[in-house]
Structure formats: C-alpha cells, structure tokens
Structure 1
C-alpha cells in the first residue's frame, strides 16, 4: 500500500461479541499484519456502553459468561478500534451516511427480540417474553424500571439457556443476587416478589434439554430452593433412549442430575421427611421441572393470566415428538416464554422477517433475490439466526471477514481517495448526538465499580459493581469523565 493511499475505513454496527470479533479478525488478518492493507475501524453501538449481549442479555449471576467481557475489554482497550456509543443506526446515523464515510460496513446487531409463541392467550396480561424480562434485570436503559412480580405461581416455557437464566433469577432471593452487578431497582423489585413456585416446561424429555451438566446442577443452588420432579417424566424414557443417553457423556450427566433429584425427593417422601434446600435449610421457593409438555393455550380471566394448558408428548418409534392427546392444566399467575430470539429489521437493509436475519451469503449482504450489495456485510445472530454459543460468532467473523478481504483483493472494494477520519465525529456533533467513547466507558466502568465499593452484599462484603441504568446518567458520567475534543 502506498503512503499516499487512504486506509480502508470500516464501520461495525454493534459492539457485542459479533461486532468486536469481526473487527479483531480483520486486524489480525495476514493482509493487515504484514502491512499490505491499512485499516481504520469505527465500532458503533446504540447503547452508551459497549459489549452488547454480554452486558444486556446474560444473567448477572453467570460470571463465566460475563468473563467474556474481559477478552472484549482487552481487544477494545488496545486503541486500534474506535468505539462510538449512544449512536442509533437509522436515527443518528443512516445507511447513506455509512456509504459516504466508510468503504464497508459490518452489521452485528444481534437478535434481542422474543420469538413468537403462537398459541391462544399469549397476549394476556401477565404473559411476557423472556427477552423483555432479561432486559429489565440486566438494566437495559430502554426498558421500564419496574417489573410486576406479584404472581406466586410462575411458568417459564423453554429448555434453553435463557429459560434457565430466567428461572434461576425468579428462584433466587434478591439478597443472593446482591453479590452480582444488578441495579438497585432490580434488587428492590426482586426483594418484593411474591413468587413461591417456578415451573419450567419443555416439549421434549430430560435427554433433549439444551443445558450443560453444570447449568443443570446450578438450578438447585439457590438458598432455600427445593427442586420438584415428576416421576412420570423419567419413567417415560424408553430403553432405547436410555441406551442413547448412556452413549453421550454430556446428556448422561444432565439426565443423572434430574434422576438424582427425583431419587432424593422420593426417599424423603417415603421417610416422611420435610423437604429442604440442597444445604438442608428450610424451603422458601420451589422449582418444578416439567418435561414432555407442549404449550397449547394460556388460560385467562378478565384479560389476565390464570393458568396454562399443555398436551403431554412422547417420542414415536422414529424418535420424533408427538402428542399423546392428554391435556394438563396448571394454575399460574404469570408466563415467560423463552422459546428463542428474533433479529430486528434495520432501516434500508434487506431483511428476512421469517428468520429474523439480514439476507446474506457467507456474510455478504444481498437483496432478497440474491444480488450482492457491495461493501455491506453481516456477522453473528443477525447473520445466521440466534443459534449456537457466543463463541460461535468467532467462526462467523472468520467467514464474514474472509468475504470482505476477497472483495478487496478482487477490486470490488477499495479505499476512497479522500476520507477524513474525524468527519463522522463532526457529522454526529452537528446533529447533536452526544456520543460516548472508549475513554468514556472507562470512566463509567470506574463509576459503577465505585458505586459497588460503597455498598455491601448480604454477607457484608463490598459489591463488585452496581450497574447504572438511566441512559442520561450513563452518558453524563461517560462524557464528564473525558475531555471532549472539538471537531468543528
């Protein structure tokens, strides 16, 4: 690359794992590392703080997943990726703006809407999408500060990681969550919750759950919690299925966890013993595991949830799920559906509403007819749908950035002869956008840690962090902590 040529300017929309890994993959490519290609990357996010799904979509008591922030923090802290937060694509910044100021753009906006569960009564008051509840307890600034937790009997529909997160948060005492970064309003809401029984329903059996063995065991960890199993759900497993379970170590460990809970429950019942939590303490709440239950209808009265109807299911001879015709009703005061996520449409970007993804081939964004749109790419869940673990976005990024590099190599993409790096900052300032920066995040990070240090958890220990929820406060702390340069 000649010294007179401009660097290749890339915009990445979304600062969660998919966005950060896309930027990092480009920076680590041989073309960049050997000096053949010079790049300049701006990473935009609609929130004032970075990290996307990890900050606003993962339960606060999941420190192993939250640990991914450490890796993302290390990448963004190097200084070769510019973070610009509190910038909303489609409002503060348009597709036309990106075409004018960048040579290419990668959309990594994720999938944070709830997938639909199309059954009668799903619209009743007290019926919620799990993603909305997650956003509330994670302090998403775009959501209300309060959440109604008056129901004693609560259902969580689904057998994936999000269902487990929701069930665990509903099952734990608020004091147990004080050791995490939950905001004060969330602590107060959970402290006043009237929940006594949480029911997790899955369409298939214990062997078809999507949890890891550790995640299954953690369900019984909350203090004062009793796990309740239905013997029928284990008895229904066929000999052929048991053979398949034994042949898979992960599945066997998960199922044996459920079997262990059932055996302990039956032993206590036979001995006439009172139930206890895992440490032998008194029971405060119960977590009921229900398998082989297909949702049929949310029951209600006067527009409010009063229960739910399920059909019991089984596996046929080919291993496919089928209904038995047996209907079972449960009295409930609230229902949380955790049946998957769905991506949101982006203004001016071709979108598949059925799958909730941007039309693309190997990360290259296309029109609905398959015509490639030069210089526009996608990565992560908005590219492939909300499946796979967070780490899978790394392999996604490798494919997407390989497509981008191929397009540069072929001459389809090339740096524009004249582009000022700070022109985008002047544009945002002219529009009155109070964008935040990486240095601003560092200021907010320290502020949240200082809030935690000034408070204590249930054991009297200082808290690691208290998350700031209000967007205006996040922006104020971020911008007050950094000398804002003028680009006028």
Structure 2
C-alpha cells in the first residue's frame, strides 16, 4: 500500500488524488490536507461568485473525496500542526498543492497606502475567505484596477454590478452590502501593453457589454489597424472584437469602465490614503515588451486593486524559487518523496482544467519513484500525531454539515451564504 499526502484541497490537489486512484486503484491511500475547514481552494474563494457554472466542477472533486481511499483532513496547517519532515516520515510521497494565494507586490512608491489592495485579498473578500473577510475597500471614489487578465475583469465587473445583478451568485452578504454603499462612477483598467497582448478571454470581456449601470469604453486610438487582427488566434480575435465594440459610441451609463492601454503605474500618492495614481505611457518594442516613455499623468482614485499575479507562500524546509514565486522543482520533483503540483509547481498560469494533466504527471512520477509501499504508517500515523497535539480535525462529512448550514442560511435566490470565520465553520459542523 502506498500512502500519499496531498497538501491543499483545490483543483490541483483533487486532480492529483483522482490520478493516483486511476493509476494505483485500491493500492493507494490519499490524505488531502488543508489548513481551512472547507475544501476546494480557489473554486470556493477565487472563482467569481457570479460564475456559478465554473464552481460546479466541485461536484467532481466531491466524488473523489467520498471514495474509500481518499479522505479530507481539514483545519490542519502544515508548519503549525505538522511539519514537512514529519509528513515525509509518515507518507511514501508528499505533494504540495498549495496554489499561489499570495499577491505579488505592485512594487511602486505608495503601494502601501490605505486603499491599495491586492487581487487575492479583494477577491477573497467578496468570496468570503476567512483571511480577508475583515477587508473594507474604500468605494467612495474612482477605482483603478491594474492588470490585463480575467482577474482584473472580475474585479471591475464586481465593482460595477448592481445588487440585482448578483442574483443567483454566492457573493457573501457583507461584501454585497458594502458594494451597495459605493459611489464610484469610474473604474480604470491599466494595461502595460496593448489590445493585442491582453490575457482577457472573450466570454469575460463580453459580460461587460451587458451590465445594467456600467459601460465599457476603449480609446479607438489605442486599437491597431483591423487588418492586424488576422495574425491573432481565434480567441484573441474575439476578445479584440469586443474591445473594438467598446470603442464605438454607446449608451451613457452612470459608471464607466475605461480601458487605459499602454499605461503602467509608477507611483501612488495620497495624504494618509490613496488619492491618485501616477501613470507612465509605455511603448512596445519589436519583441512586444513594454517600456516607459517618460510621459506621465495622474488618475484620481480612492481604491487601487493590483491584479498582476500571485505567488506561492514559502513552507519551512521546502526549497523555494523566489524569482518565479513558487517551489523550486524539476517537473514537479522537489526532493526524494516531495513533489509540487499546479500553481505551486509551475506558477499561476493556466485554467482550472490545466491542473488535471499536471496531477497525472505527478502521479506518474510517484509511480516511478515509489515502486512499492514502504510500510510507512500513513494516515494512522498522522491521526495519532494530530490527536496527541489536540488538533481539531475536520472530515469531509463535517464539511458536508458546514455546507448544509451555508445553504440553509442563503438569502433569497443565492445558492449559499458562506461562513467567513473559521470558528463559525467549526461550530456549524456540530
């Protein structure tokens, strides 16, 4: 019997467990360990609350979690309750599927002013993540969103929506109430490069055209000649088609979502809080890299949300690549018996589905490296260690009780009302 510990219960963790099941059938036992009492990682706390169809993939993970040889071990933090060294002594393989939940710093003067928020924190706030539930972003003036990917679009869309447009979503109540107090009338999206270089996908861009109180706007001067679109792949062409539509005259609405291309923040200024963002114009070289032109201007703002990428938090005893913001690894191998998968392996790139082949890659590595079970105690050893330390472990059945309570607490039309405090989660299972 092979015993495997997977650290992290998001898509990468569950796809790895699924791959191990398919590879070893009944000859493997997988423990999925998470520091939170609730599973699913970014499916629960990262996917936009108004994208419920994407969240439905959690039902696939649930089927894996309820199988006989996989179990969820929640409310157990590596580094606090158990060390990597201890896990390696208990399991034949330890797989780090911790994702990349920390924001990359914006890295400009003033980025520590009140009102500057990373996207992990902002998205975690409206999704009810316990680490960010207390955030109260200032909504009493214009907002600037830095980034050219789907996360930036999510942030802008959430800021622009009316309460009625959140019907059917699982945005948490405290965020919905606070968004309703907002007086912002302009949301500026800053992109260092141009329309042909965005990472925004057509579906997410298209959603901006259907907002009831907000209109997306693009300066036609930022768009390349239409003939240049022929060199793009089909998805990119669709995205740029949306941007071209946004550049045309349209219905005036109370809120403007303005795309500001060829623009990078170089400083954030304000007296005790954000008041404006100093932006420098950029130009692209022959290789598509952006560089500053020296021309600057100011954009008023009381909120700045940085959506420039994420990094994996360090774990004591695990080699780390500070430049790439992830664990140091070679195709997922970190050290004998220790592996990384998903964003913890490759950095924050790809979609939810990208983690599935990643999980099979790591399962193949384990099959090659662990020919037979070593006789290590696996889950029995972990249970004994955690019991000795008085750790309050949450099982998948406990999670189902928590989920049932969240569904029961939902406001009209919403699928659930998430608990945003760990103690409330632990109380709900009882």
TM-score (norm 1): 0.84
Q: Which moved more, 1:437-446 or 1:422-431?
A: 422-431
Equivalent position of 2:394 in the other structure: 436
Matches within 5 A, 1:126-205: 126-205=115-194
User: Where does structure 1 lack aligned partners over 5 or more consecutive residues?
Assistant: 1-6, 266-274, 277-282, 366-372, 457-461, 481-488
Partner of 1:328: 297
- CA contact 2:3–2:378 (8 Å) conserved in 1: no
- After superposition, what is the alpha-carbon deviation per residue over 1:457-478, rounded to whole angstroms, capped at 9, x for unaligned? xxxxx32211111111111222
Hey, what's the Cα distance between the residues in 1 that align with 2:100 and 2:169?
25
Is the CA contact (8 Å cut-off) linking 1:149 and 1:190 kept in structure 2? no
1:395 aligns with 2:365: no
Matched with 1:17 is 11
Distance 2:374 2:234 in 1: 54
Change in 2 beyond 3 A, CA 1:239/1:222: closer
Distance 1:148 1:117, change over 3 A: closer
Q: What whole-Å deviation, never above 9, does each CA across 1:27-71 have from its counterpart, x for those lacking one?
A: 101xx24x6xx1111110011010011111121111232122122
Number of aligned residue pairs:
430
Which of 210, 216, 239 is equivalent to 1:254? 239
Q: Cα 1:319–1:433, aligned 2, differ >3 Å: closer, same or farther?
A: closer
How far 1:184 sits from its partner (Å)? Answer: 1.8
RMSD (Å), alpha carbons: 1.9
**Match for residue 422 of structure 2?**
471
Distance between the aligned counterparts of 1:132 and 1:420, measured in 2? 35
2:384 equivalent among 415, 426, 436? 426
**Distance in 2 of aligned mates of 1:424 and 1:436:** 14
Answer whether contact 1:159 1:200 (CA < 8 A) is retained.
yes
Change over 3 Å in CA distance of 1:13–1:196 after alignment to 2: same
The answer to which of 181-190 and 129-138 deviates more is 181-190
The residue that corresponds to 1:380 in the other structure is 342
Per-residue CA distance 1:358-398 (angstroms, 9 max, x = gap): 11112111xxxxxxx21111101111111111211112112
| Corresponding residue number in structure 2 for 1:343 | 312
Whether 2:222 is the aligned partner of 1:233: answer yes
Counterpart of 2:231 in structure 1 is 244
Pair 1:26-2:20 in alignment: yes
Aligned residue in 2 for 1:263: 248
- Asked if 1:81 is matched to 2:70, the reply is yes
Q: 1:447 to 1:342 in 2, by over 3 A?
A: same
Q: Distance in 2 between matches of 1:74 and 1:225?
A: 40
Q: Which has the higher relative contact order, 1 or 2, with Cα contacts under 8 A spaced 6 or more apart?
A: 2
Contact preservation (8 Å) 1:86, 1:434 = yes
| Aligned partner of residue 316 in structure 2, secondary structure | coil
TM-fit CA distance, 1:417: 3.1
Q: For 1:228 and 1:63, locate their aligned partners in 2 and report how far apart those are by CA, in whole Å.
A: 27
Q: Which residue of 2 aligns with 1:288?
A: 258
Question: Whole-Å Cα distance in 2 between the matches of residues 102 and 201 of structure 1?
Answer: 46
Contact 1:129 1:336 in 2 (8 A): yes
CA–CA separation in structure 1 for the residues paired with 2:315 and 2:213: 45
On the 8 A contact 1:151/1:332 being kept in 2, the answer is: no
Tell me the equivalent position of 2:101.
112
For 1:257-311, what per-residue CA distance to the aligned partner results, in whole angstroms no more than 9, with x for missing partners? 111122233xxxxxxxxx34xxxxxx332211111112222122x2321111222
Equivalent-residue separation in structure 2 for 1:241 and 1:327 (angstroms): 28
Q: Is the 8 A contact 2:160 2:213 kept in 1?
A: no
Partners of 2:288 and 2:219 in 1: how far apart? 22
Question: Please, what TM-score do these two structures have when normalized by structure 2?
Answer: 0.95
The 8 Å contact of residues 146 and 186 in structure 1, kept in 2 or not, is answered as no
Relative to structure 1, the CA distance from residue 77 to residue 243 in structure 2 (aligned partners, 3 Å threshold; closer, same or farther) is: same
SS of aligned partner of 2:324: coil
Q: Could you tell me which residue of structure 2 aligns to residue 459 of structure 1?
A: none
Select the structure of larger CA radius of gyration. 1
